[in-house]
Structure 1
């Protein structure tokens, strides 16, 4: 049987992204083309690979079993075909600039810096916050890695899903919602809310989800950072909804209460992005690997419903 190595890349993308649309965006092909690739993979393996469960796709037991092997095989193939470049981490001297969401810097930055310092003491990391407007610094080479919830749309920018976590509701201790036997969508919508938006928006995807249920909420404030939003929630009756992974220190340091979000929403994802010029840069690839490990580690225990 003659095997097409392109199917290996397609299978890896499908298993990593968990959807035809996500895999197509990752490999910069059309969704119909990726759907045809999935069909060929199914015929070749004799397995469905991904099956639909409601609005999402779920990997089969076979797909889960071979996920790591497929990723490693693809990595080996890329290593054979790509130019070989030796990397001496002990003598490497380089400064990398990382534009990450502020919560990701707080959660994953220390672990990443510790790993970098242990392996390459001559490497320095410049963490900078997200901008209020669309930036082209990644494409200009002024930023090495971006990490946030957004998948880049530019064809020359690569990305990989580094982690995911569910959304939860955060309120002060003693809030009326903490005394409710069940937090329903109607009770949730009836409360007043604060949201996180560095651009000052007063609505987000949660409002669309509520509208689908015939409900609406009143957002009385927005905050540019989660730290500021946590302070609003701590000192008032405002309700805040954020990724569960970002609530750990808030629960401990601020004494906030975390409740399940009474809405069915996709998991909040973290995407790691870089410009294609760095695809074969061994030092950059090394840092990408460490960054992906640090970001994947923040998924809350029991909060992730998919592969990291």
Structure 2
């Protein structure tokens, strides 16, 4: 008999027969009729080549083979049930797992400490690996090498999931005493005539800001691109450059560096924060738990949207 011809229902029937020691008892245990259980016993006998249970007076006695395999059959049935009907209960106190998170650097600074604190409190055996974003698109999320991604991009691949967990308006970041801090009001024209630095892990010198300015008939001069917010802030605090960045991910760092935040003088869609993962983790209890904590950590520190 090939593996494909095996009926796993016979394993459950054999376990019940060996536990109950009778066809009637096994039938009641599995909620089937006695004739149906009798037919299952016949199939088990044909499959194993052993009688399994033999009549001795008014009772049934297991054969030596049945006695020898009784514990093995029970353990095997439990293993099969664990594979085909896994428990969704999660014991955080005993969970040991390492999650790899690829988050934008500003989001690590914004929500990482709160996430780690919650994880350590609830599941001390869990470790988090925050890794830097790449300058090119990489397939680690789809390959399962990245558990959870967080940035401003909603993935388009059908096998990737994404939740928008927060959004925040953009602000202008300048040094103290910058010429824009001394004017009565920052206008779009004054903003455009200043010298700019962009934040782009790919080194892009233009973004949605340029499209918004173009609709106003304005252009700006971008003199440099920095890979992270912190790097851009270092350029800004020693010059008259300005950088435009999401407020929630910028305020604490800018304040620590003694920088000034100014309102953006024209309409620009708010910056969104997306959590992304591969569909293989949709029903993974530990991953669901981590996603919930990550949503809370990012939304509570920023401008909540969802």
Q: CA deviation at 1:285?
A: 0.1
Cα deviation 1:51-106 (Å, max 9, x = unaligned):
xxxxxxxxxxxxxxxxxxxxxxxxxxxxxxx9751100000000000000011111
Q: What's 1:307 paired with?
A: 305
Question: Per the alignment, in what secondary structure is the counterpart of residue 143 of structure 1?
Answer: coil
Structure 1, 249-258 or 89-98: larger mean CA deviation: 249-258
Taking structure 1 as the reference length, the TM-score comes to 0.70
Cα deviation 1:240-292 (Å, max 9, x = unaligned):
10000122223322111100011201110000001001111000000000001
Question: Per the alignment, in what secondary structure is the counterpart of residue 274 of structure 1?
Answer: strand
Q: CA deviation at 1:188?
A: 0.2
Q: What's 1:189 paired with?
A: 192
**Which of 93, 98, 107 in structure 1 is aligned with 2:96?**
93
Q: What's 1:160 paired with?
A: 163
Cα deviation 1:185-231 (Å, max 9, x = unaligned):
00000100011011111111100110111000000011011001001
User: 2:187 & 2:244 partners in 1: Cα distance?
Assistant: 14
Task: Establish whether residue 125 from structure 1 lines up as the match of residue 123 from structure 2.
Answer: no
Q: What does residue range 233-272 of structure 1 map to in structure 2 within 5 Å?
A: 233-272=236-275
Task: Establish whether residue 145 from structure 1 lines up as the match of residue 145 from structure 2.
Answer: no
Bigger Cα Rg: 2
**Which of 276, 281, 288 in structure 1 is aligned with 2:291?**
288
Stretches of 4+ aligned residues off by more than 6 angstroms:
none
Q: What's 2:9 paired with?
A: none
User: 1:229 & 1:251 partners in 2: Cα distance?
Assistant: 10
Task: Establish whether residue 230 from structure 1 lines up as the match of residue 216 from structure 2.
Answer: no
Q: What's 1:298 paired with?
A: 301
User: 1:247 & 1:161 partners in 2: Cα distance?
Assistant: 19
Cα deviation 1:19-57 (Å, max 9, x = unaligned):
xxxxxxxxxxxxxxxxxxxxxxxxxxxxxxxxxxxxxxx
Q: What's 2:205 paired with?
A: 202
Task: Establish whether residue 112 from structure 1 lines up as the match of residue 110 from structure 2.
Answer: no
Q: What's 2:183 paired with?
A: 180
Q: CA deviation at 1:307?
A: 2.6
Aligned length: 222
User: Are 2:173 and 2:244, in contact at CA under 8 Å, matched by a contact in 1?
Assistant: yes
Cα deviation 1:121-144 (Å, max 9, x = unaligned):
000001001111111101100000
Cα deviation 1:5-31 (Å, max 9, x = unaligned):
xxxxxxxxxxxxxxxxxxxxxxxxxxx
Unaligned runs of 5+ in 2: 1-84
Across the aligned residues of Structure 1 and Structure 2, the Cα RMSD in angstroms comes to 1.3
